[in-house]
Amino acid sequence: MTYDLELINVGKVYDNGATAVSNFDLAVNKGEFIAFLGPSGCGKTTTLRMIAGFESITSGDMMIKGVRMNDIRPEHRPTSTIFQNYALFPHMTVRRNVGYGLDVKGMPKAERDAKVDRIIATLGLEDIAERKPEKLSGGQRQRIALARGLVVEPDILLLDEPLGALDANLRKAIQNELKLLQKTLGVTFIFVTHAQSEALALSDRIVVMNQGRVEQISPPHQLYTRPDTPFVAQFIGRNTIFKGAVETQTDDVARIATSVGTLSGLWNSKGSGSVRGGKANLVVPAEAIEVHAGTDAARDAITRQYDGNLIDATLTGFEVVGHVSHLRAALNDGQQVSLEAHVDKYQPGRFAVGSNILLSWNPSEATVIPTA
């Protein structure tokens, strides 16, 4: 079986010697929705531009449907690109913009018009088809760009932060539309973003990148609950991270000694086994932490229930914003922990700021990652 897109050890070194991307491996199935996620300058856009053909690939191979594409010019690749600033042709009407890719292919007029009409209807652009893009709203222009990119029926649609220039409400709406469109058409989408909410909401798999390297490739939920690397742990979600050293490790659970006691979580090492005493991070998602009143009576029961994952803390902040309660706590070693839950769980006044509290979590909801 061939993949729609394969990146095999792909790297990019600029002429001045700076490395933009290195050792990028990825295989994408047909119809998958992949997000490249990472902070700015992590190489995600460069990788997308290498797939599109706007940047040269300096090492490794890039294949689309099993055909090597490294030396193929962009206009001969079966990809379309959607740009953050839309990059519409300002001197053409919406219809001309959308149909331009078919014009240059020399497609018969009747067939071309039918296709253009269909995609214009799909994206709801009928009313503005004869206008020029200049006075249209960001959302409309975004849809025009999508129509223009999709009408040429690419194998892969490349989207470079396509929602970045839209306001929050519109972004949400187009996000849903985009997902629906992708499922309907079955086109493979590669989507570059620095907003994790977008990546988590849209994609089948997320490629987290940092400093030109792939940190983790996982479905959104797994990325969220089972980070592979310390970078992913601090970049995705709102995690509390305890640094420590491995005390014991079975196949599943690892216990690590930290400055606030011995704590445990699921062991997550990609291949490399643990060394007793080796450094490791315990990653606890904000949603996994339970808060209890700091009374001695409950202590033993809680310790047993959470397999020893119990730490003392002082509540330093308690705010309710809308339907979410935000709690902040200081641990004995000075580390700050923040967590949040639905307001029904921690109602205002349940804990007094400044009082002692106990924090706990299930080992199965936390992850231990070995660190260098």
Chain residues that interact with other proteins, rule: CB under 8 A: 52-54, 73-77, 79-81, 83, 85-91, 100-101, 104-105, 132-135, 137-138, 141, 145, 148-149, 152, 158, 165
For other proteins, the closer CB: 48 or 233: 48
Euclidean distance between CA atoms 179 and 154, whole angstroms:
17
Least CB distance to other proteins at residue 212 (A): 22
Cβ neighbours of 327 (radius 10 Å): 25
For other proteins, the closer CB: 112 or 213: 112
Least CB distance to other proteins at residue 136 (A): 8
With b meaning 16 or more CB within 10 Å and e meaning fewer, what string describes 256-287?
bbbebbebbbbbbeeeeebeeebebbbbbbbb
- 13 with 58: CB under 8 angstroms? yes
Least CB distance to other proteins at residue 103 (A): 9
**CA distance readout (Å), 244 to 240, 260, 275, 317, 362:** 13, 10, 13, 26, 18
For other proteins, the closer CB: 36 or 267: 36
Least CB distance to other proteins at residue 165 (A): 8
Helices (H), the chain: 44-52, 94-103, 109-122, 138-150, 168-185, 196-202, 220-225, 230-235, 296-305
**CA distance readout (Å), 190 to 81, 118, 177, 254:** 9, 23, 16, 36
For other proteins, the closer CB: 137 or 332: 137
For other proteins, the closer CB: 22 or 80: 80
Cβ neighbors of 73 (< 8 A, separation 6 or more) are 53
Taking the chain, what is the end-to-end CA distance rounded to the nearest angstrom? 37
Euclidean distance between CA atoms 283 and 229, whole angstroms:
10
Least CB distance to other proteins at residue 89 (A): 6
- 36 with 42: CB under 8 angstroms? no
Least CB distance to other proteins at residue 315 (A): 45
For other proteins, the closer CB: 86 or 306: 86
Q: What is the DSSP code (8-state) at residue 282?
A: E
Least CB distance to other proteins at residue 326 (A): 34
The phi and psi torsions of 182 (rounded to 5 degrees) equal -65, -40
For other proteins, the closer CB: 91 or 109: 91
Q: What is the DSSP code (8-state) at residue 273?
A: P
Least CB distance to other proteins at residue 163 (A): 14
For other proteins, the closer CB: 145 or 232: 145
Cβ neighbors of 251 (< 8 A, separation 6 or more) are 267
For other proteins, the closer CB: 134 or 296: 134
Least CB distance to other proteins at residue 131 (A): 11
Cβ neighbors of 334 (< 8 A, separation 6 or more) are none
